[in-house]
Structure 1
């Protein structure tokens, strides 16, 4: 039963989760009567904005460290943090012949530019760096890096040809359960630290029923089906 009137919740959303939010927001509105106002960006940037008093009520981070830090600093509601998705990293190019299924292209180096998100502010960028370190190509490839502020900008660099290939979120290129268009290598999860993405009810949203409803909705079957369809794993 949808309430006759609904509230509104302001959510800071990690850029990699843009696709799922576009599907989830109307579902949430239909189910609860509440509206979701989303802002998309790098988790590190959101941390700075929230620390400086930005009016966000919920954070959907690209990591689990930022919500933990905000909790420690009194910006979040104790006991409200949980992992809503586990991200997957993919090396992707719009060129359907460039990337082989084991990522050997990184060793062969038949490209000029490689895009990745800023490892200091974007967990997917850090995962990309860890992957290259594991493969022993990090220092060799460093001069070719084109660095995006967040994973959305990184994807843009690759899709517009400013870099021939790049490390992006699987959620950005998945179509019907596989990489749609171009070529890609789904990086094995053990090549980098798990990309555990945590949600947090922020101090500003503690008395807002719409904020609480949104966090409850995200844990539901309908939302989890959508999240899985974008290539994320769900915590066990």
Structure 2
């Protein structure tokens, strides 16, 4: 009897211990801007829980299309708030799990240390030979960049000079490689790029575009996946929030 009671207590406790029980695996669809951050967070979550998180990154629009065509993702970390809600409305995601995990900011950045001296003046009427942005039809950061260029009255004039990446990671690489001298890019990716290429930058006022609210949601197919559900809960923890802020997000 004593052995049976002890075993019952141990089983009950096991359900609450990080990493206890059988490890699960989840596949996350992650907006390109958040890919490195998601991998860092997934690694830490894995150490704590024993679960494995695989990250697949692309533009939010491309991920949405993949999910609609049956891609086996357990959760989505979008670069906007609209796409996860659209998936909920379409019956593909669990609306009770919607969570705004980060707010992105745009930065005008160049690898040339002397190019961005007055960012506002440069955007409004400066000479811009080539400007990297993400595709506005696929990537929320690209849509925000288009809003910024419309705000300063130069969208139509600069369209022929845009180096448009399929996602924001590709647009950032255009600037890192020198293919484009300037880019309207996420602060998070600029902070990472500046570790090796300081360059020059200017943070775009948040009022120049709609807020870049990034939302996570659990897919219906991931409803019983302990790794996916646990990771989304971990995203809301104080430790994860502090890491997300340190990586350049509000």
Please provide the CA RMSD for this pair: 1.8
Aligned to 2:120, the other structure's residue is in SS state coil
Contact 1:101-1:184 within 8 A present in 2 as well: no
Per-residue displacement from partner, 1:176-221 (whole Å, max 9, x unpaired)? x999711111111111000000001001101111111001100001
2:199 equivalent among 178, 182, 196: 182
Provide the TM-score with structure 2 as the length reference. 0.88
| Runs of 5+ unmatched residues, structure 2 | 1-16
Distance in 2 (alpha carbons) for counterparts of 1:76 and 1:198? 12
Distance in 2 (alpha carbons) for counterparts of 1:92 and 1:102? 9
Q: Which runs of 4+ in 1 moved over 3 A?
A: 177-180
Contact 2:85-2:95 within 8 A present in 1 as well: no
| Rg larger for | 2
Contact 2:119-2:201 within 8 A present in 1 as well: no
User: Where do residues 91-170 of structure 1 align in structure 2 (5 Å cutoff)?
Assistant: 91-170=108-187
Contact 1:91-1:103 within 8 A present in 2 as well: no
| Runs of 5+ unmatched residues, structure 1 | none
Aligned to 1:127, the other structure's residue is in SS state helix
Distance in 1 (alpha carbons) for counterparts of 2:97 and 2:128? 45
- Alignment partner of 1:207 is 2:224: yes
1:27 equivalent among 35, 38, 44: 44
Distance in 2 (alpha carbons) for counterparts of 1:143 and 1:109? 16
- Alignment partner of 1:18 is 2:40: no
Q: Which residue of 2 aligns with 1:61?
A: 78
